[in-house]
């Protein structure tokens, strides 16, 4: 059960279906991942690359559990497609501020669905010759990946349903939910996308 202190008004939103990941589970897993990154990058020059906007919440929490010097930069990409499906055609809306040559880069992404966005990002960043390039994803949807991807750090695997909360949006809404939950299918079925 979700604790009553968590945004009771948002929780009652009739568009939200079921809660898939509770706030406490998010906290615990993010802490563990932070500890893992701390240990594995102990003597390396770590640059976290957050993918805007969905990964912002995850990245901010993760970074507080990384206890080695590190830096952060952001990219914004948009994949052409409807609000709930990505097409694989990716456009860079905001590029990194920093050069990544010879640096240890960790991409921080909210969710891997088809994997097409991440696959494009990896290909793009690899051409800039980082010392290493790995991925830390909050969630991965099972059985829907269209390209093979090596995701080194992953917090949760979820069923292939559309989810919102903890940074993830539907039409820019619901990012502020403290949990990850499903959206009732009729919400996006009826939407004009």
Q: How many CB atoms lie within 10 A of CB 130?
A: 19
What is the SS3 string spanning 7-38? Answer: CHHHHCCCCEEEEEECHHHHHHHHHHHHHHHH
Judged by CB under 6 A, the number of residues near ligand IMP is: 17
Q: Does the annotation mark 24 as catalytic?
A: no
Q: Which does 113 bind (CB under 5 to 8 A by kind): Mg ion, ligand IMP, none?
A: ligand IMP
Torsion-angle region of 7 (φ positive above 0: left; ψ -120 to 50: alpha; else: beta): left
Of the listed pieces 9-17, 33-41, 64-72, 103-111, which binds ligand IMP according to CB under 6 A? 103-111
Residue whose CB is nearest to Mg ion in the complex, by number: 54
Beta strands in the chain (DSSP E): 16-21, 46-52, 70-79, 90-94, 104-112, 132-141, 153-158, 163-164, 180-183
Member of 19, 30, 112, 136 binding ligand IMP (CB under 6 A): 112
Nearer of residues 66 and 116 to ligand IMP, judged by Cβ: 116
Q: Which does 138 bind (CB under 5 to 8 A by kind): ligand IMP, Mg ion, none?
A: none
Binding site for ligand IMP (CB under 6 A): 54, 79, 86, 109-118, 162-164, 168
Binding site for Mg ion (CB under 5 A): 54, 110
Catalytic positions, written as ranges: 113
């Amino acid at each position: 059960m979700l604790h009553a202190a968590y945004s009771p008004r948002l929780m009652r939103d009739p568009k939200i279906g079921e809660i898939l990941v509770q706030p406490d589970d998010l906290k615990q897993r993010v802490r563990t991942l932070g500890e893992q990154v701390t240990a594995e990058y102990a003597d390396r020059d770590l640059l976290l690359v957050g993918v805007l906007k969905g990964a912002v919440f995850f990245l901010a929490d993760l970074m507080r559990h990384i206890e080695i010097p590190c830096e952060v930069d952001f990219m914004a990409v948009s994949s052409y497609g409807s609000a709930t499906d990505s097409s694989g055609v990716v456009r860079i809306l905001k590029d990194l501020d920093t050069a990544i040559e010879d640096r240890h880069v960790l991409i921080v992404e909210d969710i891997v669905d088809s994997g097409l966005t991440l696959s494009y990002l990896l290909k793009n960043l690899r051409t800039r010759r980082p010392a290493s390039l790995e991925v830390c994803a909050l969630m991965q949807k099972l059985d829907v990946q269209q390209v093979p991807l090596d995701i080194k750090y992953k917090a949760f695997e979820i069923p292939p349903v559309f989810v919102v909360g903890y940074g993830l949006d539907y039409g820019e809404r619901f990012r502020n939910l403290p949990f990850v939950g499903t959206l009732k299918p009729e919400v996006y079925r009826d939407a004009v996308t």
